[in-house]
Amino acid sequence: MDTGKVVMVTGPAQGIGRAIAERFLQSGCSLVALDRQAEGLQSLAALAPERVAWEVMDVTDDGAPARGMALARERFGRLDALVNNAGIGRPKPMHLTDDAELDRFLGVNLRSVFRFSREALGLMQPGACMVHVASTFGLMGNPGASAYAATKAALIGLTRQMAVDYGPQGLRINAVAPGLIRTALIEDRLDQPAFRRLMVDTIPYPRLGEPADVAAGVAFLCSQDAAFINGHVLVIDGGWSATNWVGPTPA
Ligand SMILES: NC(=O)c1ccc[n+]([C@@H]2O[C@H](COP(=O)([O-])OP(=O)(O)OC[C@H]3O[C@@H](n4cnc5c(N)ncnc54)[C@H](O)[C@@H]3O)[C@@H](O)[C@H]2O)c1
């Protein structure tokens, strides 16, 4: 995204959101950073104090979207991009997922994205865009991921629907669907054989994904190079969802 643009990122204190936020800062954008972790926000703001507005918040709070937009308006006067990244993982199979757990997934991964997007519509001008951070789990079935997968599939539906409804206003709405990306969300499972077999050994490209890989995709979708891309889901997974082949590759 061009220098001088204003980008809001939810969940930028660590992991993928952090890489997205840093990438926008490096390209000269201003940043509205919203997360429930104060420490991560402070260290992010220290990178470019004049260009980072931040607030500690839980994105599921009723007033969170309005507070985020007010911060963007007061500090920078506008909003050119919203990246709905904040999310939770570690789902259980459906029969072990009680109502509270289901509501937690729906609240963070879906409801907050819907509500932040709705609020942003009021501030965005033609040429602005949104990117929802979905997942390959929203595209394919995987063992034991019910509530998580349902929210990520819903984000993909929401992306297409918003692209149709708000494209006529000059807004572009896209999603990224990361595969396995090395962050705190997954790091402690990398040693588990079953997890490796499902998630690591099945990546055709010979490495794990890194947060910067997702940041690059988000930056592209927000850039002028993507000016006619609307309603698209950009898979960033090293080819994991392209195959069910479990190596080694035949000679
Ligand atoms: N890591 C992966 O392999 C992977 C794969 C596909 C999709 N994703 C998605 O990418 C996004 C980021 O994941 P990550 O791996 O960086 O996770 P992470 O746990 O490392 O970071 C998530 C960030 O979101 C913030 N956050 C979570 N809930 C929040 C809430 N209610 N209010 C405010 N902030 C909140 C956390 O504080 C944290 O800074 C998530 O939506 C996740 O589902 C991750």
Per residue in 132-156, pLDDT (tens digit) is: 999 999 999 999 999 999 999 999 9
Strand, coil or helix: what is 131? strand
- Residue 107 token pair: 């609240």
d(CA 31, CA 79): 9
Residue 77: band (very low, low, confident or very high) from pLDDT cuts 50, 70, 90 = very high
Helix axes 38-45, 15-26, angle to 10 degrees: 20
pLDDT tens digits, residue range 55-76? Answer: 999 999 999 999 999 999 999 9
Catalytic residue among 116, 148, 166, 240: 148
Residue 251 is predicted with a pLDDT of 67
Q: Average model confidence (pLDDT) for the chain?
A: 96
Residue 166 a catalytic site member: no
DSSP structure class, residue 231:
S
Residue 248 is predicted with a pLDDT of 65
Query: Quick one: what percent of the chain has pLDDT higher than 70?
Result: 97
- Residue 177 token pair: 């669907």
Of 41, 88, 185, the one to substitute when testing ligand 1's pocket (max ligand atoms within 8 A of C-beta) is 185
Is the pLDDT reported for residue 207 higher than 80?
yes
Task: For ligand 1, say whether the CB of 107 is within 6 Å of any of its atoms.
Answer: no
Is the pLDDT reported for residue 171 higher than 80?
yes
CB 21 within 8 A of CB 29: no
Is the pLDDT reported for residue 246 higher than 80?
no
Minimum mean pLDDT range among 24-38, 84-98, 187-201: 187-201
Is the pLDDT reported for residue 164 higher than 80?
yes
| Residue (of 8, 11, 184) closest to 86 by Cα position | 11
Q: Give the number of the atom of ligand 1 that is nearest the alpha carbon of residue 86.
A: 24
More confident residue, 34 or 243: 34
Residue 3 is predicted with a pLDDT of 79
Ligand 1 mean position to 79 CA, how many Å? 22
Which residue in the block uniquely carries the two structure tokens 């991964």? Answer: 109
Could you tell me the sign of the dihedral formed by the alpha carbons of 179, 180, 184, 189, in that order? Answer: positive
Residue 247 is predicted with a pLDDT of 65
Is the pLDDT reported for residue 185 higher than 90?
no
More confident residue, 250 or 37: 37
Structural domains of the chain, with CATH: 6-235 (3.40.50.720)
CB 81 within 8 A of CB 130: yes
